[in-house]
Amino acid sequence: MAEFDVDLFVIGGGSGGVRAARIAAGHGARVMVAEEYRMGGTCVIRGCVPKKLFVIGSHVRQELTDAAGFGWSIPSATFDWPTLIANKDKEIARLEAAYTANVEKSGARIAKARAVFEDAHTLRLSTGEKISANVVLIATGGAPNHGAAIPGLEHVISSNEAFHLEQLPRRILIQGGGYIALEFACIFAGFGSDVTVVYRGDNILRGFDEDVRSHVRSEMEKEGITILTGCTVTGVDKHGKEYTSHLSNGSSIASDQVMFAIGRHPNVANLGLEKAGVAINPSNGGIAVDHFSKTSAPNIYAIGDVTHRFNLTPVAIREGHAFADTVFGKRPVQVDHADIPTAVFSQPEVGTVGLTETQARAQFSHVDVYKTSFRPIKSTMSGRDTRVLMKLVVDGTTDRVVGCHIVGDTAAEIVQAVAIAVKMKATKADFDATLALHPTAAEELVTMRTPTARYVRDEAAE
């Protein structure tokens, strides 16, 4: 067997790559991690974590407004954007240091450099160093994609730049209708910006349950966010510090900032993949992998967003752990990608796990739907015009709960727990047998007794 400098070389110091490196080192492997930017990757540095901090900060405005209904008289509050940015930067720096320390404590070596393939076993670093590796893991993640070129595209920012704006925009136009677009729309609106969302589809949150899509849109519009669907931005002009976005419907919108959040693409460019024999999946543009995250090259694996399967941090972490156990722990582990819980940290928040109603009706012959929309207890005193949505989708033949969808405060926290029940194949009878915890919004999940809809597929029509 050829002698290599390391047993495992990881390209990318994000959540998935770090988990794989630490677990592999724990199994006794000699590990090296190359990260050209900052340890922690998209989630920690310019994604989930700073985004959630912004969400929490922007929600304070709503809390201040609601407080009056509970007897609080609060003097006029002021908000300072630079303070938010500075404090966010300090927290991200702390997390980056923690990620770095944890990798080094595991025994792995970190190279602050870009790594590209010279062949399947050789990596060349931007420092000039060459490393030979028995196994290589690609964990380079993804990056914002602005789509087709349009006039003035150079004036458009992505979520990356949104975390570092020098000042809060008074008016912002955001193109996109998914997680990132809606989360930032609510963040900026919460901090006081005038927000317009532009989306090409007929409604926001494509792929989510239809009731969730309509409920979130209604709630966002109640908060003063303008949502324009069925159109796109065709060009952006700059006039001093102001921008004019031209839309495909013939209208134009003035703003102080234009942000695109229309998708992300896998970071596969300029890695030398062709020299290593690593194939791209033509259907999604990510690196093609099997159930064990192995690429077309027998010693090279890929995990996380670079595979473009499920672009979620916990998925990358689970895939990284499974890879390390499989290859270096000699214990084959396949990641189960079914029933992955997910959240949209919009305001109100979305938490969901399992199948949508549409998916369930396509998959099962009998589907029962339990749905409720109600005013949360807090709004009865605050006077806020808002409603919570809760929905269970049930396989009518087996009584198994196959989907849960919630829109409202702490929806993600609730769904994380419900996901355990869905994963364990709990039935509606199991939910019904669980005592309610009162007074909570979540108690509705165990008190909905009567289906709001029942569907039986006409077998003759198939």
Residue-wise DSSP of 107-134 = T-EEE-S-EEEEETTEEEETTS-EEEEE
Strands (E), 12-154: 31-34, 109-111, 115-119, 122-125, 130-138, 142-144
d(CA 102, CA 91): 17
Determine how many CB atoms are found less than 10 A away from the CB of residue 308.
Answer: 21
Contacts of 315 (CB under 8 A, 6+ apart): 304, 309, 335, 337, 340
Residues annotated as part of the active site: 438
DSSP 8-state assignment for residue 187: H
Query: Could you tell me if 234 and 216 are in contact, meaning their C-beta atoms sit under 8 angstroms apart?
Result: no
b/e code 168-180 from CB counts within 10 Å (16+ = b): bbebbbbbbbbbb
Respond yes or no on whether the N-terminal peptide bond of residue 341 is cis (omega within 30° of 0): no
Instruction: Report the SS3 class of residue 226.
Output: strand
The tally of CA atoms less than 13 A away on the side-chain side of residue 200 is 9
Q: Provide the residue type at 146 as one letter.
A: H
Strands lying side by side in the sheet with 252-255: 233-239, 242-247, 252-255
DSSP 8-state assignment for residue 166: S
Work out the angle at residue 177's Cα, subtended by the Cα atoms of residues 225 and 375, and round it to the nearest 5 degrees: 55
d(CA 246, CA 384): 34
Strands (E), 264-324: 264-266, 300-302
Q: Is the dihedral of CA 40, 45, 51, 54 positive or negative?
A: positive
d(CA 317, CA 423): 19
Strands (E), 248-292: 252-255, 257-260, 264-266
